[in-house]
Amino acid sequence: MTIHDFMAKVAAKNQGEPEFLQAVKEVVETVWDAYISNPRFVKANILERIVEPERTIIFRVPWMDDKGEVHVQRGYRVQFNSAIGPYKGGLRFHPSVNLSILKFLGFEQIFKNSLTTLPMGGGKGGSDFDAKGKSDAEIMRFCQAFMSELFRHIGPNTDVPAGDIGVGGREIGYLFGMYKKLSNEFTGVLTGKGRNWGGSLIRPEATGFGAVYFAEEMLKTQGKSFDGLRVALSGFGNVAWGAAQKISELGGKVVTISGPDGYILDEEGISGDKIDYLLELRASNNDRVCDYADVYPNSKFFPGKRPWEVKVDVAMPCATQNELDLNDAKALVANACICIAEGANMPCTPEAVEIFINNKILFAPGKAANAGGVATSGLEMTQNSMRFGWSRDEVDARLHEIMKNIHEACATNGKQADGFVNYVKGANIAGFLKVANAMCDMGVV
């Protein structure tokens, strides 16, 4: 069997799922040698088993809007792999959600969760619900309707969902409330919970903080730090917010954020109260970033454009998949950008990644760089099991340590003969080996 034959078989079985095939191809190409040279893996047919979700649940979600009109969305939960722990991964509510996107996210989650060293399998779910323009009551009713089916498929030792695009603290509250009512149990079945009802300190900031900690480790390998560097962020959601905080704290200057409508360039730096304003912008359910320029008139809005044309030292895409393409990558390289760390999941296209690696630029894939979010979800699960809560500093110190360890695992498995670290290869191999060995240990199930 060659990589080509293997991918042809996967493509034939998963037609009309481009994002899923994109994610599988990257993993298969980078782990192939480690796989094929291990007779135990090959005998157990691990690679073909690992690209097939253990279970996929698709369900109808009917809900009523404020005018009394009834709408129907589609709900999903892809329970991808439970070899090293209960399924774990976020819920995404966005009109673009389909099976391909959730399978790509669930597949990536297997390796990401493995890298955290915590006992969590991989899963992802969500719905094609569009929160834009919806009232709080409509969002509550939708979350309740979604959970009225999902609750029978999840549990603290079975599957533990969390947030992702369109699902933040407010939605987790409504989802948890409905789960608690239906199951008659107060349990750690979701993460990203509010602080007063089982949540962990630092979880809201964790993905952004973790991505910056990871980038900091990469910069250190070149004797550099964030101090004095210019940074481009995309998105203006949870991940971008956390990253902006930590970058400012470390002395870096965030000069861009973006939305589906274009990007903001703020040469004075996005720090202090401007970071708090991001929360307001996000909570407005307005789907646009341009309002920032009205509030901070010294900044400039570039409609329909992406921030990657701005000259920066570090770029951190924190919005969505495939938001940084070949031309964007070429522009960053031409502007002497030294480090790209993916806060979002798969934001760089394969062609963009190839440009970064060929130019020997520090490039961190999402499954390594953004693993701090799910790692802190894992820490939330630990605290729920202990019926105890750690302090902010304790959680932050554990998160920091986990990100340093993931960086180390990537460096060990991805170092080339010339010393350059291919973090894509390193992350995929390190994440894969643990899950593959666990699957072998458990027999053909």
Name the site residues for ligand NDP (rule: CB under 6 A): 163-166, 168, 207, 234-239, 258-260, 282, 287, 318-320, 323, 343-345, 370, 373
With tokens 């060659």, the residue in question is 2
Closest contact distance (angstroms) between CB of 43 and ligand NDP is 34
What, of ligand 2IT, ligand NDP, none, does residue 433 touch, CB below 5 to 8 Å by kind?
none
Is 103 an active-site residue? Answer: no
Closest contact distance (angstroms) between CB of 234 and ligand 2IT is 16
Three-class SS of residue 438? helix
- Could you tell me which residues are beta bridge partners of residue 444? none
Nearer to ligand 2IT, 265 or 318 (CB): 318
Active-site pick, 88, 103, 112, 124: 124
CA pair distance 377, 199, nearest whole angstrom: 9
The answer to whether the CB of 274 falls within 8 A of the CB of 264 is: no
Closest contact distance (angstroms) between CB of 377 and ligand 2IT is 3
Q: What secondary structure does DSSP assign to 274-320, as a single string?
A: HHHHHHHHHHTT---STHHHHHSTTSEEEET--GGGS--SEEE--S-
60: Cβ–Cβ under 8 A, 6 or more apart, which residues?
A: 72, 74, 75, 149
Nearer to ligand NDP, 47 or 424 (CB): 424
What, of ligand 2IT, ligand NDP, none, does residue 188 touch, CB below 5 to 8 Å by kind?
none
What's the order of all strands across the beta sheet hosting 339-341?
300-303, 262-265, 253-259, 230-233, 314-316, 339-341, 362-364
Closest contact distance (angstroms) between CB of 9 and ligand NDP is 28
What, of ligand 2IT, ligand NDP, none, does residue 191 touch, CB below 5 to 8 Å by kind?
ligand 2IT
Nearer to ligand 2IT, 75 or 89 (CB): 89
Nearer to ligand 2IT, 77 or 253 (CB): 77
Interface residues toward ligand 2IT, by CB under 6 A:
88-90, 112, 162, 164, 191, 345, 373-374, 377
- Could you tell me which residues are beta bridge partners of residue 253? 230
Closest contact distance (angstroms) between CB of 373 and ligand 2IT is 4
Distances (CA, A) of 76 to 10, 90, 126: 21, 11, 5
CA pair distance 233, 289, nearest whole angstrom: 13
With tokens 């920091």, the residue in question is 400
DSSP single-letter state for residue 195: G
Nearer to ligand NDP, 6 or 121 (CB): 121
Active-site residues, by number, are 124
